[in-house]
Amino acid sequence: MKDHSEFAHNIIEIYKKHARAWTELRGNFLYEKAWLDHFLALIPQHSKILDLGCGSGKPIADYLIQHDHKITGVDSSNVMIEMAQQNFPEQYWLQADMRTVELDQKFNAILAWDSFFHLTPDDQRAMFQNFQKHAKLGAALMFSSGPSHGEAIGDMFGDALYHASLSQDEYRQLLKDHGFEVVKMIVQDQACAGHTVWLARKL
Protein backbone atom coordinates (compact mmCIF):
# COMPACT_ATOMS: atom_id res chain seq x y z
CA MET A 1 0.00 0.00 0.00
CA LYS A 2 1.21 3.50 -0.83
CA ASP A 3 2.11 5.74 2.06
CA HIS A 4 0.49 9.13 2.55
CA SER A 5 3.35 11.05 0.96
CA GLU A 6 2.72 9.28 -2.33
CA PHE A 7 -0.97 10.16 -2.14
CA ALA A 8 -0.01 13.79 -1.48
CA HIS A 9 2.23 13.87 -4.55
CA ASN A 10 -0.64 12.61 -6.73
CA ILE A 11 -3.00 15.51 -5.98
CA ILE A 12 -2.11 17.60 -9.02
CA GLU A 13 -2.44 14.67 -11.41
CA ILE A 14 -5.83 13.76 -9.93
CA TYR A 15 -7.15 17.28 -10.51
CA LYS A 16 -5.84 17.19 -14.07
CA LYS A 17 -7.38 13.78 -14.71
CA HIS A 18 -10.79 14.50 -13.18
CA ALA A 19 -11.04 18.28 -13.69
CA ARG A 20 -14.14 18.32 -15.86
CA ALA A 21 -15.94 15.56 -13.98
CA TRP A 22 -15.21 17.18 -10.62
CA THR A 23 -16.35 20.60 -11.87
CA GLU A 24 -19.62 19.10 -13.10
CA LEU A 25 -20.12 17.28 -9.79
CA ARG A 26 -19.33 20.44 -7.80
CA GLY A 27 -21.99 22.38 -9.65
CA ASN A 28 -22.90 26.00 -9.05
CA PHE A 29 -24.58 25.82 -5.64
CA LEU A 30 -22.69 28.31 -3.48
CA TYR A 31 -22.78 26.76 -0.01
CA GLU A 32 -19.80 29.00 0.83
CA LYS A 33 -21.80 32.21 0.30
CA ALA A 34 -21.96 33.31 3.96
CA TRP A 35 -18.20 32.92 4.35
CA LEU A 36 -17.51 34.69 1.06
CA ASP A 37 -19.69 37.55 2.27
CA HIS A 38 -17.65 37.78 5.50
CA PHE A 39 -14.49 37.74 3.36
CA LEU A 40 -15.73 40.47 1.03
CA ALA A 41 -16.86 42.65 3.94
CA LEU A 42 -13.20 43.05 4.95
CA ILE A 43 -11.96 44.47 1.64
CA PRO A 44 -12.51 47.61 -0.46
CA GLN A 45 -14.61 47.78 -3.60
CA HIS A 46 -12.81 46.79 -6.82
CA SER A 47 -10.18 44.80 -4.95
CA LYS A 48 -7.57 42.49 -6.42
CA ILE A 49 -8.10 38.94 -5.14
CA LEU A 50 -5.63 36.06 -5.35
CA ASP A 51 -7.49 32.75 -5.66
CA LEU A 52 -5.13 29.84 -4.94
CA GLY A 53 -6.55 26.58 -6.27
CA CYS A 54 -9.12 28.46 -8.32
CA GLY A 55 -10.37 25.48 -10.32
CA SER A 56 -12.68 26.42 -13.19
CA GLY A 57 -13.60 29.73 -11.57
CA LYS A 58 -17.13 28.49 -10.87
CA PRO A 59 -18.85 29.08 -8.60
CA ILE A 60 -16.49 30.91 -6.22
CA ALA A 61 -14.48 33.26 -8.44
CA ASP A 62 -17.72 33.89 -10.35
CA TYR A 63 -19.32 35.22 -7.16
CA LEU A 64 -16.32 37.47 -6.44
CA ILE A 65 -16.34 38.78 -10.02
CA GLN A 66 -20.06 39.58 -9.71
CA HIS A 67 -19.07 41.86 -6.82
CA ASP A 68 -16.74 43.78 -9.17
CA HIS A 69 -13.45 42.40 -7.90
CA LYS A 70 -10.50 41.47 -10.10
CA ILE A 71 -9.28 37.86 -9.90
CA THR A 72 -5.84 36.38 -10.29
CA GLY A 73 -6.49 32.65 -10.27
CA VAL A 74 -3.77 30.05 -9.75
CA ASP A 75 -4.22 26.31 -10.24
CA SER A 76 -1.82 23.45 -10.93
CA SER A 77 -4.27 21.75 -13.30
CA ASN A 78 -3.95 22.91 -16.90
CA VAL A 79 -7.51 21.69 -17.55
CA MET A 80 -8.90 23.79 -14.69
CA ILE A 81 -7.08 26.87 -15.96
CA GLU A 82 -8.35 26.29 -19.50
CA MET A 83 -11.92 26.15 -18.16
CA ALA A 84 -11.39 29.30 -16.08
CA GLN A 85 -10.02 31.16 -19.11
CA GLN A 86 -13.03 30.10 -21.15
CA ASN A 87 -15.46 31.06 -18.39
CA PHE A 88 -13.92 34.43 -17.51
CA PRO A 89 -11.49 35.60 -20.21
CA GLU A 90 -11.27 39.09 -18.73
CA GLN A 91 -9.60 37.80 -15.54
CA TYR A 92 -6.02 36.57 -15.14
CA TRP A 93 -5.49 32.80 -14.83
CA LEU A 94 -2.14 31.12 -14.27
CA GLN A 95 -1.20 27.45 -14.28
CA ALA A 96 1.21 27.24 -11.35
CA ASP A 97 1.78 25.53 -8.03
CA MET A 98 0.51 27.60 -5.11
CA ARG A 99 3.53 26.50 -3.08
CA THR A 100 6.03 28.12 -5.45
CA VAL A 101 4.09 30.77 -7.38
CA GLU A 102 5.85 34.14 -7.52
CA LEU A 103 3.62 37.08 -8.35
CA ASP A 104 5.18 40.52 -8.40
CA GLN A 105 2.28 42.20 -6.64
CA LYS A 106 0.29 42.26 -3.44
CA PHE A 107 -3.43 41.65 -3.14
CA ASN A 108 -6.36 42.97 -1.11
CA ALA A 109 -7.46 39.41 -0.42
CA ILE A 110 -6.18 35.84 -0.68
CA LEU A 111 -8.39 32.78 -0.88
CA ALA A 112 -7.29 29.14 -0.63
CA TRP A 113 -10.60 27.29 -0.48
CA ASP A 114 -10.68 23.48 -0.73
CA SER A 115 -7.09 23.60 -1.98
CA PHE A 116 -4.79 24.42 0.94
CA PHE A 117 -5.91 21.30 2.81
CA HIS A 118 -4.49 19.06 0.07
CA LEU A 119 -0.95 20.16 1.00
CA THR A 120 1.24 18.19 3.38
CA PRO A 121 1.68 19.64 6.88
CA ASP A 122 5.15 20.97 6.04
CA ASP A 123 3.90 22.54 2.81
CA GLN A 124 1.04 24.16 4.72
CA ARG A 125 3.49 25.66 7.20
CA ALA A 126 5.58 27.07 4.35
CA MET A 127 2.50 28.59 2.68
CA PHE A 128 2.13 31.22 5.37
CA GLN A 129 5.23 32.98 4.10
CA ASN A 130 3.63 33.01 0.64
CA PHE A 131 0.40 34.41 2.10
CA GLN A 132 2.38 37.12 3.87
CA LYS A 133 4.40 37.98 0.76
CA HIS A 134 1.31 38.50 -1.41
CA ALA A 135 -0.91 40.30 1.15
CA LYS A 136 -1.36 44.05 1.30
CA LEU A 137 -1.78 45.72 4.68
CA GLY A 138 -5.34 44.99 5.79
CA ALA A 139 -5.76 42.14 3.30
CA ALA A 140 -8.25 39.38 4.02
CA LEU A 141 -7.04 35.77 4.04
CA MET A 142 -9.46 32.85 4.04
CA PHE A 143 -8.73 29.14 3.80
CA SER A 144 -10.38 25.85 4.69
CA SER A 145 -8.56 23.25 6.79
CA GLY A 146 -9.24 20.06 8.67
CA PRO A 147 -10.73 20.23 12.18
CA SER A 148 -7.59 18.99 13.95
CA HIS A 149 -4.03 17.80 13.35
CA GLY A 150 -3.79 14.76 11.09
CA GLU A 151 -3.98 13.29 7.60
CA ALA A 152 -6.97 11.74 5.85
CA ILE A 153 -7.51 9.97 2.54
CA GLY A 154 -10.71 10.66 0.66
CA ASP A 155 -11.84 9.55 -2.77
CA MET A 156 -12.27 11.25 -6.13
CA PHE A 157 -13.78 9.00 -8.78
CA GLY A 158 -11.88 6.00 -7.42
CA ASP A 159 -8.55 7.77 -6.85
CA ALA A 160 -7.21 8.34 -3.35
CA LEU A 161 -7.48 12.03 -2.42
CA TYR A 162 -5.06 13.31 0.20
CA HIS A 163 -5.98 15.84 2.90
CA ALA A 164 -3.98 17.13 5.86
CA SER A 165 -4.40 19.57 8.69
CA LEU A 166 -2.36 21.19 11.40
CA SER A 167 -3.77 21.77 14.87
CA GLN A 168 -5.90 24.83 15.55
CA ASP A 169 -3.21 26.14 17.91
CA GLU A 170 -0.55 25.85 15.23
CA TYR A 171 -2.67 27.64 12.63
CA ARG A 172 -3.26 30.46 15.11
CA GLN A 173 0.46 30.70 15.85
CA LEU A 174 1.42 30.65 12.16
CA LEU A 175 -1.08 33.38 11.39
CA LYS A 176 0.24 35.49 14.25
CA ASP A 177 3.87 34.89 13.29
CA HIS A 178 3.17 36.08 9.74
CA GLY A 179 1.28 39.21 10.70
CA PHE A 180 -2.34 38.05 10.51
CA GLU A 181 -5.09 38.23 13.13
CA VAL A 182 -7.97 35.75 13.18
CA VAL A 183 -11.28 37.47 12.46
CA LYS A 184 -13.56 34.43 12.45
CA MET A 185 -13.05 30.67 12.66
CA ILE A 186 -15.56 27.83 12.84
CA VAL A 187 -14.79 24.12 13.15
CA GLN A 188 -16.92 21.90 10.90
CA ASP A 189 -19.45 24.61 10.11
CA GLN A 190 -22.69 22.73 9.45
CA ALA A 191 -24.01 25.72 7.51
CA CYS A 192 -21.07 25.30 5.12
CA ALA A 193 -21.08 21.57 4.36
CA GLY A 194 -19.02 20.81 7.47
CA HIS A 195 -16.04 22.93 6.45
CA THR A 196 -13.54 24.21 8.99
CA VAL A 197 -12.87 27.78 7.92
CA TRP A 198 -10.31 30.42 8.89
CA LEU A 199 -10.79 34.08 8.08
CA ALA A 200 -7.94 36.40 9.00
CA ARG A 201 -6.65 39.90 8.27
CA LYS A 202 -3.14 41.20 7.60
CA LEU A 203 -2.01 43.65 10.27
SS3 13: helix
The answer to pTM > 0.85 is yes
| 182-197 pLDDT, tens digit each | 999 999 999 999 999 9
Contacts for 43 with CB less than 8 Å, ≥ 6 apart: 49, 69, 108, 109, 138, 139, 140
Rounded Cα distance between 191 and 195, Å, is 9
| 61-95 pLDDT, tens digit each | 999 999 999 999 999 989 999 999 999 999 999 99
Contact 142, 35 (CB under 8 A): yes
| Range with the poorest average pLDDT among 14-23, 28-37, 38-47 | 14-23
Q: What domains does the chain contain, in order, with CATH numbers?
A: 4-202 (3.40.50.150)
Rounded Cα distance between 14 and 32, Å, is 23
Rounded Cα distance between 151 and 85, Å, is 33
